[in-house]
Chain A
Amino acid sequence: MKEILAIEHLSKSFRIHNLHKHIEALHDINITLREGEFVGITGKSGSGKSTVFKCIYRTYAPEAGAIWYHSQTFGPVDLARAPERQIINLRKREIGYVSQFLNVMPRTTARELVKQAVLEMGREERQAEWEADKMLAHFELDEELRDCYPATFSGGEKLRLNIARAMVKRPRLLLLDEPTASLDDASKLRVRELMLQLIREGTTMLGIFHDLAFMENLCDREYTIRDGCLTDLQNHVPSTLETMREISLAK
């Protein structure tokens, strides 16, 4: 399979000027993803997992290294350096991101949000409405809720909406940062079903999950990050026990 993402020597630190602080978050990270793979990232709280995702999505400005993404439209693009306009385009059409902490648009209904996501892909109005509804139904978001503002939703409802909004695009590359953290088992199952479907359709996924049972049989490979560095295990798939040990150290 062809490579779709190659993170090479990525480093990232944060300089907080008024506090004279310099936080090293990532150091020389190398990750590769082949088309259609589902790769997991594990590591303790604060180890830098979300930072990797935000660098890929350019919510954070990467400091050193390259993030090569093979775009359908543009060919190879270094996401660390690509023009802002190109990143916006890729976010609309190719790269989806479900963030760990939700950020809902004020005063836009759930239905509208998901529909907008489809419209961004260049579909037409009717089609967008239909796809949005189908997706919201899949995540069992009540008919009445769909026409409400998500600001008043429960945590789980917001999360389901967020996942629906990212997945409805069927992006080529999907970044999932703890998408099941606050979901009940039934909702988790819904997420899992859809992930399986996307995997079948060829979506490449990079995911952060604390829930190991959820990862089971889903994930092709895993990377573990410790204090901003990849551990040596990077290409070796750790046993569930090993991972559990890593996680229990985290708590």
Chain B
Amino acid sequence: MDYVQEPVLSVRNLNKQYGGGCLNCRGAKADRLIKNFCPVCGTVYACRDVSFQVYAGEILGVVGESGSGKSTLMECLYFDQEVDGGEALISSYKNGEANLFAESSQQKRYIRNHMMGKVYQNAALSLKMDFSALGNIAEKLIAAGSRHVGRMETRGRELLEHVNIPSYRMKERPKNFSGGMQQRVQIAKALSNNPPLLLLDEVTTGLDLSVQASVLDLIKTIQRELGISVVIVSHDLSVIKMLADRTFVMLDGQMIEHGLTDQILEDPQHPFTQQLVQSLL
């Protein structure tokens, strides 16, 4: 029964701050902060005690205003950033018993290369713009242990085809690609190691509407066909509405509300969520 399943990813009390903190703000004294910011020492509390679970084959949406900590959360999960506390467990790693944040950097690299894929809002953060689209995919395959060039090329072509990059352009550099094509190459790259977990940060932001639609459709199809679990961050509620089964809402680094996506949209409880939803109508 998929309901009784163990979560694929389980995050508990994730904390991330930028800055050392001071007497005013240390010990999570929320009332002394202005939003997520300590006015005395300038420390930003980007994620505060964020806990959630992701189950097999589901799409979990994360929404929140700009600066609420969504990207920081994803960066922490992908080890782009060190956390200041909390734990993350992945069911496919050490039986879901090891806190990923406490593993060695070598182990973290292994987890990232074998168990996760990530798509960044800014494609330049994940693609090497001067290498071919195929080369970019090979990069991730090599990181995950592949050595056979022919096999890597076959796999690369298969993936790029899946995201509708025409085969005559696969050897071109992403630099020459449109925003939507770059996102699709990123998605192909993120999928190349068959990760059980895909992290998507604002994948459609800044793309024009028809391109957005094709990227969203692609995500939906991939998720359905591969049964992969996806965490998708967006400040755009219509993206969440189309893709996510469940959604949580962030404000000033904290998770303020969670629920089935239709409930978040039709019966939001928190004043901030209500404001967010009203802006959609």
CA of A118 to CA of B98 in the docked complex: distance in angstroms? 38
Chain B residues 1 to 15 lying within 8 A of chain A, measured CB to CB, are 1-3
Q: Determine if B267 and A61 form an interchain contact, defined as CB atoms under 8 angstroms apart.
A: yes
- Asked if A54 is at the interface (CB within 8 A of a chain B CB), the reply is yes
Q: Mark A50-92, 1 if CB is under 8 A from B, else 0.
A: 0000100011110000000000011000000001111111000
- Asked if B266 is at the interface (CB within 8 A of a chain A CB), the reply is yes
B contact residues around A89 at 8 Å (CB):
1-3
- Asked if B274 is at the interface (CB within 8 A of a chain A CB), the reply is yes
Q: Mark B103-114, 1 if CB is under 8 A from A, else 0.
A: 000000000000
Known: A18-B275, A61-B269. A73 touches B1 (CB 8 A): yes
Chain A residues 106 to 148 lying within 8 A of chain B, measured CB to CB, are 106-107
- Asked if A16 is at the interface (CB within 8 A of a chain B CB), the reply is yes
Chain A residues 203 to 234 lying within 8 A of chain B, measured CB to CB, are none
Q: Determine if B213 and A59 form an interchain contact, defined as CB atoms under 8 angstroms apart.
A: no
A contact residues around B242 at 8 Å (CB):
105-106
Known: A18-B275, A60-B266. A84 touches B260 (CB 8 A): yes
B contact residues around A17 at 8 Å (CB):
271, 274
B contact residues around A153 at 8 Å (CB):
none
- When the two chains form the complex, which single residue of B245, B269, B274 contacts A88, counting CB atoms closer than 8 Å? B245
Chain A residues 1 to 56 lying within 8 A of chain B, measured CB to CB, are 14-18, 54
Nearest chain A CB to B157 CB, angstrom units: 26
- When the two chains form the complex, which single residue of B246, B263, B271 contacts A59, counting CB atoms closer than 8 Å? B263
B contact residues around A106 at 8 Å (CB):
213, 242
- Asked if B67 is at the interface (CB within 8 A of a chain A CB), the reply is no
A contact residues around B245 at 8 Å (CB):
88
Q: Determine if B259 and A84 form an interchain contact, defined as CB atoms under 8 angstroms apart.
A: yes
Q: Determine if A16 and B274 form an interchain contact, defined as CB atoms under 8 angstroms apart.
A: yes
A contact residues around B2 at 8 Å (CB):
85, 89
Known: A85-B55, A88-B246, A89-B3. A60 touches B267 (CB 8 A): yes
Chain B residues 150 to 179 lying within 8 A of chain A, measured CB to CB, are none
Chain B residues 176 to 197 lying within 8 A of chain A, measured CB to CB, are none
B contact residues around A88 at 8 Å (CB):
3, 58, 245-246, 260
CA of A87 to CA of B3 in the docked complex: distance in angstroms? 9
- Asked if B217 is at the interface (CB within 8 A of a chain A CB), the reply is yes
Q: Which residue of A lies closest to B217 (CB)?
A: A107
CA of A7 to CA of B269 in the docked complex: distance in angstroms? 22
Chain B residues 58 to 97 lying within 8 A of chain A, measured CB to CB, are 58
Give the interface centre of B58, B213, B263, B271 by most chain A CB atoms within 10 Å: B263
CA of A61 to CA of B275 in the docked complex: distance in angstroms? 18
- Asked if B130 is at the interface (CB within 8 A of a chain A CB), the reply is no
Q: Determine if A59 and B274 form an interchain contact, defined as CB atoms under 8 angstroms apart.
A: no
Known: A14-B267, A106-B242. A61 touches B1 (CB 8 A): no
Q: Determine if A54 and B266 form an interchain contact, defined as CB atoms under 8 angstroms apart.
A: yes
Binding site for A on B (CB under 8 A): 1-3, 55, 58, 213, 217, 242, 245-246, 258-260, 262-263, 266-267, 269, 271, 274-275, 278
22 residue pairs from A and B, CB less than 8 Å apart: A14-B267, A15-B269, A16-B274, A17-B271, A18-B271, A18-B274, A18-B275, A58-B260, A59-B267, A60-B266, A61-B263, A73-B1, A74-B3, A84-B258, A85-B2, A85-B3, A88-B3, A88-B58, A88-B246, A89-B1, A89-B3, A106-B242
